[in-house]
Amino acid sequence: MENTNKRYWKGIEELKNDISVVKNADKEFNLEGLEGGTYRRDFLKMLGFGVAAVSLAACNAPVRHTIPYLNKPEDIEPGIPNYYASTFAQAGSYCSILVKTREGRPVKIEGNKLSGVTKGGVAAHVHASLLSLYDNERSKEPTKGGKKTTWAELDKEVSAALASSTNIRVVSNTILSPSTKSVLADFASKYPSAKHVTYDSNSASALIEANGTSFGKAVIPSYLFNKANVIVGINCDFLGTWLSPIEHSAQWAETRRLSSAKGGKKTMSRHYQFETGMSMTGANADYRGMFKPSQEGAFVANLYNRIAAIMGVGSQLSVAKADFENIDKCAKDLVAAKGASLVVSGSNNVAVQTIVNGINSLLGNLGNTIDFGTTVNYKQGNDAAMNQFVAELKSGAVDAVIFLDSNPVYDHLLGADIAEGLKKSKLSVAIADRANETASLCTYLALNTHYLESWGDASPKAGYYSLTQPVISNIFNSRQGESSLLAWAGKSSDYQAYVKNVWTSSILNGKTWIQALHDGVYESPNATVLGASFSGNLAEAAAKVSSVKSSGIELLVFENVTIGTGIQANNPWLQETPDPVSKVTWENTAAFSQKTAADLGLEVGDWVNLTIGANTVELPILIQPGQANDTVTVAMGYGRTAAGKAGNVGVAMLPLLKGSATASNLWVGGAKIEKTKSGYTLAQTQTHETYMGREAVVQESVLSEYVKNSKAGRFEPMIATSDGLKKPYSITLWNGHEKKNHSWGMVIDLNTCTGCAACVVSCQAENNVSVVGKAEVARAREMHWIRIDRYYSSDAPEEEGYSVAGYKAMETASANPEVVFQPLMCQHCSNAPCETVCPVLATTHSSEGLNQMTYNRCVGTRYCANNCPYKVRRFNWFKYFENDNFDFHFNNELGRMVINPDVTVRSRGVIEKCSMCVQRIQAGKLTAKKEKRRPVDGEIETACSQSCPTNAITFGDMLDPESRVSKLLVQEEEGRRFQLLEEINVIPQVNYLVKIRNKDGVKKAEAVAHTDHSEHAGH
Amino acid sequence: MSVVSPIREHLVTGGKTYHDVTEDICRHVEAKPTKEWKIAFAISVLVLLYGGGWVLWTWWEGLGVWGLNKTVGWAWDITNFVWWVGIGHAGTLISAILLLFRQKWRTSINRAAEAMTIFAVLCAASFILMHMGRPWLAYWALPLPNTFGSLWVNFNSPLVWDVFAISTYFSVSCLFWFIGLIPDLATIRDRATGVRKTIYGALSLGWTGGARTWARYEDVSLILAGLSTPLVLSVHTIVSFDFATSVIPGWHTTIFPPYFVAGAIFSGFAMVQNLMLVTRVVYKLEDYITLEHISLMNKIITLTGSIVGVAYITEFFIAAYSGVEYEKYAFINRATGPLWWSYFGMMFCNVMSPQVFWFKKLRENIVVSFVIAVVVNIGMWFERFVIIVTSLHRDYLPSSWTYFTPRMGDIGDYLFSFGFFFTCFFLFSKFLPVINMAEVKSVLKSSSEKKSNH
């Protein structure tokens, strides 16, 4: 272009040299319009900073709040546990406990040895109740119509509604608490129309009624199993669920304990059990017979007739003579043990209980093994009163109803009627811990506390009292039921003062409140055992039992040991605890005998439709040895719909019984079974049923042999050497471990272990054992550190063993098998196979005889688990905490509060196993050291040994000659002591005592007679 | 008495000259990849990626993605580990023992066999890592000084012996293989241009081909062969100690070391057979890998197969003779228990199927040889599965008896090792000479043969 003065301009502003143009002259683009936006460079800067900041933030460990005490509470030392005596009393289930708290947080429940009732024993569901405290699915607030409300508002509205009501009902399960009853009385005095209705899901109403007619005392007496030489349980799971199982277990075990010492106790009770399904109690019986639910009456009447005939007293009841396996033998033994025998029935049928009363009267047991001097309060439910309430509710006659910690819509036979009737009641209040099946239908939810947040008391038996005290302040905006009732009654809702007042005025009798609170119990028992005179109408009862008609397959609903009636269903510990007998977790099953299953064409892994009338449920089947033919038994307590994630599993059974004449006795005839699908794997922790004749695993004998030879049943392998036969221990490659100070060991008495699984849950709580859920249990990956192996006997003659057919025969359990329970934890082998194979020395031997596991050293090759002959090592297949795939208590902050701070929570990829509660050993040693003394025997207890209701597990220092363990070992050295798999010479620290059954002969000799009987039993 | 010396069959047929050998082998290295190679390679990489996904998932989620349980702590993981290690053995046997025994026929197959060894050992090692609950801590199994952060290892543990055995084996095999490659790499270097020349030049370590170099090469080969020979026996012996030193019935067996070594050679030869038959066809190497080779391999397969057969029967005899209840049950359970099918698979594949090679016609039939080789490898996998799983799933306490069902994680991780192995093998077959040119040239003519004209 030529040189010219021609000028181009962009706009008039530039031409005029406008100020804005001059200002932006150095900028290529006019960004005025973008002012306030993000420029490229700024964006990059911010991006860079952001990335850096985020990555820096990611580098920091997540913040975990540890809040130090500003003012340290008195009595709380960080790291030192405090123990408080308290009481578990839930729907009549009772246990006196100690609660271990750490920094104000309850972390473990132990037995209270001061209690004369439970004597330091704890049941599985009591241990597990700790976790229910930290249940994230409890409601957080009181509600009205499902919406959050305040207590003030709720109190105002409920009080107003109550004041205008004319027919008030308070519905509860059995209440053991004198103070609660006093509160109810106060409530009734404010609202005169208020009536208290008590029901029990698994009712003993008929027992009370029968006692009323038989003895003129409508109460339940104490049963003294420890004074009985012959014990007969008739559909009565007295070791597992009936009335007071912890107490009964201890009494029963007293009669089963033996001593191999010279002049030691060589007698034991003989236990007969007659039942439909295989209960835990039946599994512990010496002789067992089976009947269908419809034959229950016929059975007791026949037993009565046989006893009467042998004794030559009383008149024969007019019932058809029927044969049952072992009934004749039972009658003979009962008569021989007159006055020192005991017949108990779990039936909820008045006629049956009347005949049982007749039997006990005939045998002179009243006043000997049955004590009316100390009556028990475990079951107070009154079926008639409850039925009347339901009728009134349905008719609309009840205008206000309060459910005090009860859930009848789910756990009462007439639940559906109650649900319907509730619509007609003007006021409905549920005092519950969550919007459960009943509470969700009520207008108001007066949020209840957990018992560990509450004050309370209990009187399980006449003369026995115990206190409940809070060990943590209320986690949610809850208020305990009694306070609510007091508030509505217009009284001070300070329940602590109320309880104290009740105790000081009418219970303590001069003793101090502080002492009672410290001990947890106050007892002034009636020492004299009282009898009663029988005046029942046996003829009428006999007529009633003869008239029972039934056809087809009979369904019996029972209460199992773990889930019970389903109150604590939403408890992952309980759900994952295997049923003691079936070893099934996380669901209920339809149990059939082998023969019935074969008749119906059912196989393991099938599901069936179980139809009663118009109702059908679908269930997986279980083939249960020891089940009566043509029956199906299913556990109650499952199939909840509003319990929570863990609890809403399985199938609810009570609705199926509705409308049947025999429903109150929990059975019904005419069940239709139809196979629906197959190939299902039950979440069972044990799938093989027999011990394959392996005497190095289970050693057992019978009393008659044991009396002759205290080593009866012992299997003593010998190893052939050039110097002749030698004991395995005498030949070894190893130098052994020097134990200079302690040698911790155990003795487990197979004779007194009932298989109740209390130790399993106790261990789970103590050692932070993960819950893995149904799918993982089905894959055989449960994490329990202690398990209870349950073996059935088989009919195979042993000599057939070493052939293919022989082994197959040994795999099949008998139709009515003998059962043995064997608790198994790490055996702490002195020559431990696991220790030699670990490449990184993650598992080593301590100088105190413990096989110890170093989690943070473990790389997870699982070689140790493979090489463990006892298969007690557990591998963390996944990360079981803070993992949505395992949405149990370890996956929420509240649930994790249950973690024992003394025990590491294991990470993914490491092996774990029983440590013999090394944290307790260390704590005990430390206490002793500080006091400059040696630990005293009994001071240190493992979680399992501490909780055992029968003291079947004894723990202690084997180097201390005064310890119970040492004494037991000396006593049984030439007797029942054995170690598992002795011949492989691993030398466990855990010893077992041979199981002795009180039978006439060893099983093989009886096999013939046994098959003869079983043919009759089916009629 | 007169002795007639048999006239030996030619080890290389087709009247190949030195130059032909060079051309035949180098052609594949120098030419563009063939379509078949591309397809095969693509499939291998896809399998590797799919399997690799599962491996990552296994590491991310935990070993729960496998089918293992409280009783069966090892199943496919260690089965695969032992299987791959076993396969590796043939390479070492061919290159070391056959070298020492002057078995000249080995020259055509030793290169591929050694490559197979290395890849197989890598696959095996991947399962050592994978089977750990916390594989990121695998280095804890090494006896590193405490200052490194790890602690001392447990020299009592067969797993530590394994670490030594496998790492030694891998190092020596790599060295042996690479030393053997040098003259051939130099050949390729001499023919190559550009980048390829640089790479192959670097790899051939300045090989001159002088007489002194050749002499040293021969010496090193002999020394390495001498080192490797005990490894052939020791590695699988030590692997067998994982089981033999335990207390588990079915594992606790003194027969394991020889039985495992025989089994390893058995499966390794079968794998070599498979790979060679494929390479032979794809690369048209019929003149180098002759029917004589195939027949000789088949003879060894039949021999070692029969040895393991005898071992299986001996185990049964000892179990019955021992009087030990658990041993007796363990073996009856193997054959008749819930996992009977795996035992049957093992017996059929390992003991019965190789017996067809008693017939010359079948022995020299390529299709039959290939099929039986596959069957043998399936059988050897079953053998390890039988030993590991059927022993574990029902050991001492019947209460803990379980069953084993594999899950997708097991399958995916196994596929990963296949993908890895074949990806490596195809890369090898493309970029390195699959047949040892230098050694083949040394057996090209027998002394009686008339020198051809060229």
pLDDT tens by residue, A131-174 = 999 999 999 999 999 999 999 999 999 999 999 999 999 999 99
Q: Say if the Cβ atoms of A869 and B328 lie within 8 Å.
A: no
In degrees and rounded to multiples of 5, residue A683 shows phi and psi of -80, 75
Q: Give the pLDDT of residue A776.
A: 95
pLDDT digit string, tens, across residues B137-165: 998 988 888 777 667 899 999 999 999 99
Q: Where are the beta strands (DSSP E) in A559-689?
A: 590-592, 607-612, 615-623, 631-635, 667-677
Asked if B69 and A862 come within 8 Å (Cβ–Cβ), the reply is no
Residue A443 has pLDDT above 50, yes or no: yes
**Minimum mean pLDDT among A89-103, A109-123, A240-254, B1-15: which range?**
B1-15
Q: pLDDT tens digit string along B307-318? A: 999 999 999 899
Place of tokens 């279980």: A622
How far is A163 from B104, CA to CA, in rounded Å?
109
d(CA A1007, CA A146): 62
Report the distance separating Cα A242 and Cα A227, nearest Å.
Answer: 18
A168-172 sheet: strands from edge to edge: A147-148, A143-144, A444-445, A427-431, A400-404, A168-172, A195-198
Nearest Cα residue to A349 out of A543, A630, A541:
A541
Mean pLDDT of A328-341: 94
User: Is the pLDDT at A1003 greater than 80, yes or no?
Assistant: no
Amino acid at A881: F
Q: What is chain A's mean pLDDT, rounded? A: 90
Query: Does domain A549-677 sit in CATH 2.40.40.20?
Result: yes
The number of beta carbons lying within 10 Å of the beta carbon of residue A977 is 20
Q: Which of A790, A869, A910 sits opposite B133 (nearest CB)?
A: A910
With respect to residue B421, please indicate whether it lies within any of the assigned structural domains.
Answer: yes
ipTM surpassing 0.90, yes or no?
A: yes
Nearest to B141 among A801, A833, A859 (CB): A859
DSSP β-bridge partners for residue A445: A143, A430
Q: Does B408 touch chain A (CB under 8 A)?
A: no
Express each pLDDT in A28-46 by its tens digit.
666 555 555 567 778 888 8
The CATH topology of domain A715-786+825-993 is Alpha-Beta Plaits (3.30.70)
The minimal CB distance from B133 to the residues A692, A838, A909 is found for A909
In a domain? residue B446: no
Amino acid A1016: pLDDT: 40
Measured CA to CA, the distance from residue A1003 to residue A1018 in angstroms comes to 21
Domains in chain A: boundaries: 1-60, 205-376, 549-677, 715-786+825-993
**What's the pLDDT band for A270 if we cut at 50, 70, 90?**
very high
Residue to substitute from A681, A861, A885, A982, interface B, most B β-carbons within 10 A: A861
Residue B209 confidence (pLDDT) = 86
Q: Tell me how far apart the alpha carbons of residues A958 and B296 are, in angstroms, rounded to a whole number.
A: 66
Kindly determine whether residue A804 and residue B62, on different chains, have CB atoms separated by under 8 Å: no
Q: Which of A871, A987, A992 to mutate: most B Cβ within 10 Å?
A: A871
Q: Is residue B19 part of a domain?
A: no
Cβ(A369)–Cβ(A231) below 8 Å: no
User: Across the interface, do A866 and B247 touch by the CB < 8 Å criterion?
Assistant: no
- Residue B394 pLDDT greater than 50, yes or no: yes
Domain presence at residue B1: no
Q: Is the pLDDT of residue B448 over 60?
A: no
User: Does B338 score more than 80 pLDDT?
Assistant: yes
Q: What is the pLDDT of residue A954?
A: 96
Confidence (pLDDT) at A1007:
43
Report the gap between the CA of B22 and the closest CA in chain A (Å).
48
- What ranges in A646-773 are assigned the alpha helix state H? 654-657, 703-708, 758-766
Q: How far is A453 from chain B (nearest CA, A)?
A: 38
Mean pLDDT of chain B: 88
Q: How far is CA A954 from the centre of its chain?
A: 21
Dihedral angle of Cα A119, A123, A127, A130, to the nearest 10 degrees: -90
Return d(Cα B454, Cα B444) in angstroms, integer.
14
The tokens describing A630, both together, are 């043509």
Segment A83-98 shows an average pLDDT of: 94
Q: Hey, is the C-beta of B247 within 8 angstroms of any chain A C-beta?
A: yes
* B394, closest residue in chain A (CA to CA): A688
Q: What is the pLDDT of residues A726-780, one digit of tens each?
A: 888 888 888 888 899 999 999 999 999 999 999 999 999 999 999 999 999 999 9
Residue B361 — φ and ψ, nearest 5°? -60, -45
pLDDT given at position B445:
65
Domain count, chain B: 1
Measured in angstroms, the CA of B428 and the nearest CA of chain A are apart by 32
Q: How confident is the model at residue A278 (pLDDT cuts 50, 70, 90)?
A: very high
Is B449 a member of any domain?
A: no
For residue A949, the cross-strand partners are none
Architecture of domain A205-376: 3-Layer(aba) Sandwich (3.40)
- What share of chain A has pLDDT > 90, as a percent? 79
What pLDDT shows up at residue A775? 94
In this prediction, residue B89 carries a pLDDT of 83
Q: Which two tokens stand for residue B115?
A: 């490559």
State pLDDT tens for residues B67-92: 999 999 999 999 999 999 998 887 78
Is residue B359 assigned to a domain?
Answer: yes
The C-alpha atoms of residue A900 and residue A905 are separated, in whole angstroms, by 9
B173 within a domain of the structure (yes/no): yes
In contact, A238 and A344? CB cutoff 8 Å: yes
What pLDDT is recorded for position A1008? 40
d(CA A582, CA A562): 12
Q: List the domain range (segments joined by +) for residue B391.
A: 26-441
Token pair belonging to A822: 């064997």
Phi, psi angles (nearest 5°) of residue A996: -115, 125
- Residue A821, classed as helix, strand or coil, is strand
Instruction: Outline where DSSP puts E strands in A690-756.
Output: 700-702, 719-721, 724-726, 744-749
Other C-beta atoms lying within 10 Å of the C-beta of residue B398: 23
* pLDDT at residue A736 in the model: 83
Provide the pairing of β-strand A843-845 with A143-144: unpaired
CATH no. for residue B193? 1.20.1630.10
CA distance A456 to A929: 38
Residue B120 in contact with residue B84, Cβ under 8 Å?
Answer: yes
Establish if B387 touches chain A: CB-CB under 8 angstroms.
no
> Closest Cα partner for A404 from A482, A497, A335, A287?
A482
Q: Which distant-in-sequence residues (6+ apart) come within 8 Å of B57 by Cβ?
A: B65, B409, B412
- Closest by CA position to B141, among listed A840, A416, A454: A840
**3-class secondary structure, B211:** helix
pLDDT confidence band for A511 (50 / 70 / 90): confident
**Alpha-carbon gap, residue B121 to B172, rounded angstroms:** 12
Question: Which residues between 291 and 330 in chain B have a beta carbon less than 8 angstroms from any beta carbon of chain A?
Answer: 325-326, 328-329
Residues, chain A, total? 1019
Q: What is the DSSP letter of B95?
A: I
pLDDT of residue B6: 67
Pairing of strands A590-592, A553-558: unpaired
pLDDT for A865-922, tens place per residue? Answer: 999 999 999 999 999 999 999 999 999 999 999 999 999 999 999 999 999 999 999 9
User: What confidence score (pLDDT) does residue A30 get?
Assistant: 60
Partner residue facing A870 (CB), from B140, B163, B397: B397
Identical fold, A205-376 and A549-677: no
In a domain, B193, yes or no: yes
- With CA atoms as reference, the chain A residue closest to B65 would be A877
Q: How far apart are CA A872 and CA A824, in angstroms?
A: 8
